[in-house]
């Protein structure tokens, strides 16, 4: 099978690519599993196809209000921003609503569309000054999203918080990941390096027929391949750094 669609398919593909079953690949199955996990972790952290932008909602509880943070699901790599808590409260008494109603929709006033745009910009500036974005702090290890505010005064249990971020794609849900060209090459290089590391312990030992172990050479070749692939991913496939918001 040339197109892996599962972990086992990818493991079999890697071993065949390294020469199995024609030659014996001296790696244990658990070592292959570990290298595959390493590759998937690198793929998620540096390749744009390993993550997706998500908009998650969280139901606030009394515990959240007491703690001053919410717990996000595993797999969320970063949180970009938390949306304003007043964005769903615009009504007929809101200054932006009245301005749009009087100066835009009926187009009967003396102002022009340029004046309307300038006024909107001014209103938005005042809103940013009087109701700024909440400062946020997120840590992947703890899965905690801190929002710097007086929770008990601003939110209530039973309300929702919506946050935007990046989440790791689960290969079990999207098995197409296993067939990614760079992922296949990277796993192969990692397993090859593991193979070389295993054999390097027997370097210089001569087998019957004059064959000599040279695991160090295999390790060096694989290490160069790993570095080359990592450099290619970071230069060509890594998402641009977002400006921090919050």
User: How many other CB atoms sit within 10 Å of the CB of residue 160?
Assistant: 12
Alpha helices in 47-112 (DSSP H): 62-67, 95-100
Using one digit for the tens of pLDDT, what is the confidence trace for 15-72? 999 999 999 999 999 999 999 999 999 999 999 999 999 999 999 999 999 999 999 9
Q: Are 144 and 70 in contact (CB under 8 A)?
A: yes
**Percent of the chain whose pLDDT exceeds 70:** 83
Task: Output the pLDDT for position 246.
Answer: 44
Q: Is 118 helix (H, G, I), strand (E, B) or coil?
A: helix
User: How many other CB atoms sit within 10 Å of the CB of residue 190?
Assistant: 25
Using one digit for the tens of pLDDT, what is the confidence trace for 183-236? 999 999 999 999 999 999 887 777 777 677 788 999 999 999 999 999 999 898
For the chain, which residues make up each domain, given as ranges? Answer: 7-47+180-237, 52-168
Task: Output the pLDDT for position 111.
Answer: 59
Predicted TM-score (pTM) of the model is: 0.76
């Amino acid at each position: 099978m040339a197109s892996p669609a599962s972990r086992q398919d990818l493991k079999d593909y890697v071993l065949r690519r390294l020469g199995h079953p024609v030659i014996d690949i001296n790696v244990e199955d658990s070592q292959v599993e570990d290298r595959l996990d390493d590759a998937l972790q690198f793929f998620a952290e540096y390749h744009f196809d390993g993550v997706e932008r998500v908009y998650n909602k969280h139901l606030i509880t009394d515990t959240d209000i007491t703690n001053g943070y919410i717990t996000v699901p595993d797999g969320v790599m970063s949180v970009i921003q938390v949306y304003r808590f007043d964005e769903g409260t615009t009504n007929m008494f809101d200054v932006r609503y009245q301005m749009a109603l009087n100066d835009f929709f009926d187009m009967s006033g003396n102002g022009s569309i340029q004046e309307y745009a300038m006024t909107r910009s001014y209103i938005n500036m005042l809103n940013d000054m009087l109701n700024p974005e909440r400062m946020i702090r997120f840590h992947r290890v703890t899965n905690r999203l801190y929002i710097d505010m007086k929770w008990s005064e601003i939110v209530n249990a039973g309300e929702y918080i919506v946050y935007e971020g990046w989440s790791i794609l689960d290969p079990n849900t999207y098995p197409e990941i296993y067939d990614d060209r760079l992922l296949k090459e990277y796993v192969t290089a990692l397993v090859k390096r593991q193979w070389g590391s295993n054999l390097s312990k027997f370097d210089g030992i001569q087998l019957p027929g004059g064959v000599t172990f040279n695991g160090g050479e295999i390790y060096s070749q694989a290490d160069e391949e790993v570095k080359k692939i990592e450099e290619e991913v970071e230069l060509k496939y890594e998402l641009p750094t977002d400006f921090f918001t919050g």
